Amino acid sequence: MSLSQNELYPVIKSLAQALLKAQYAVILTGAGYSTPSGIPDFRSAGSGLWTKYLPMEVASLSTFRHNPELFFAWLHPLASHMLSAQPNEAHIALARLEQAGYLKAVITQNIDGLHHRAGSKNVYEIHGTFNSLTCVGCFHSFQAPEVIDNYLRNSTIPRCTLCGNILKPDIILFEEQLPYTTWRRAEKACETCDLLLVAGTSLEVMPSAKLPLTALTAGAKVALINQTETYIDERADYVLRGDVSEIMPSLAEEVLHG
C-alpha cells in the first residue's frame, strides 16, 4: 500500500538528509522507474509483459537465432514504446542530483535509454540497451534511429546496411551473460557506496537483485522506493512505498532546495 503525502514527507526529509551527508550515493533502478513514461514492465498483474508471454519462448538468444521472426514480432510493441517515450520526472530528478554532485552513478536494469536522455551521465546499463544494434555478421554497430524506422513501420526485421545480416539489439536476452565490464562497475559502485537508493524494481531478477545485499554487506544504508514489497524491505533503512515519479522529484527538491 502506498503511503499518503503526510506519511511520506518525514521519510523523504530524512532520506534527503542522508543523501546530503553521503560521500558516495548511487541508485539501482528497474522497470517501475519507466512505467510513468508509458513503458510496460514485465511482472505487473494484467499489464506485465511476462503475463502475456513465456520469456524463454520470445526473449531468449535461442529464439533470436532460430526464430527471429517471433523475436522481432514480440519486441515490436515494446520497441515502439521505448523509442517514443520521454523521460519522466523521476528520470529528471536523478539527472539533477547527479549534476549537483549528490549522486555518483545510476545502475539500471532498464534498456530504454531514458536515464541518458534525461541527462544522467554515469549510467551502468546492466541489461544492455535498445539504443543500438549490432550486426551478427560483420559486427558493425548502428544507433537505433539509423536502422529501426522500417522495422517500426512495417515490422521488417532490421538488417545491416553493409552486409545484409540481421541486426541484434544490444539488449541482454535470456541465455546471455551480462556485459562484464558494466556489471563489474555496478558491483564496485555498490561495494563502495555509503548510500544505495533502490527504486522501481521488485528485486526478483538475479544477479541484479543481489546488489542491495552487496551494499548492505559493505556497510551502506539502503533506501527502498517502490510500489510493492521486496525481499530487502526488512533490512532497508528507509522504505518509501509510492510512485517514483512523485517521490523522486520531491526528494531532489528537498536535497537541492530544502
Catalytic sites, residue numbers: 127
Cis, peptide link before residue 40, omega less than 30° from 0: no
Quick check: helix, strand or coil at residue 17?
Answer: helix
What is residue 231's three-state secondary structure? coil
CA dist 257 and 165 (Å) reads 52
Burial (Cβ within 10 Å: 0-12, 13-18, ≥19) of residue 48: middle
CA-closest candidate to residue 37, choices 244, 242, 229: 244
**Grid cell locating 12:** 523523504
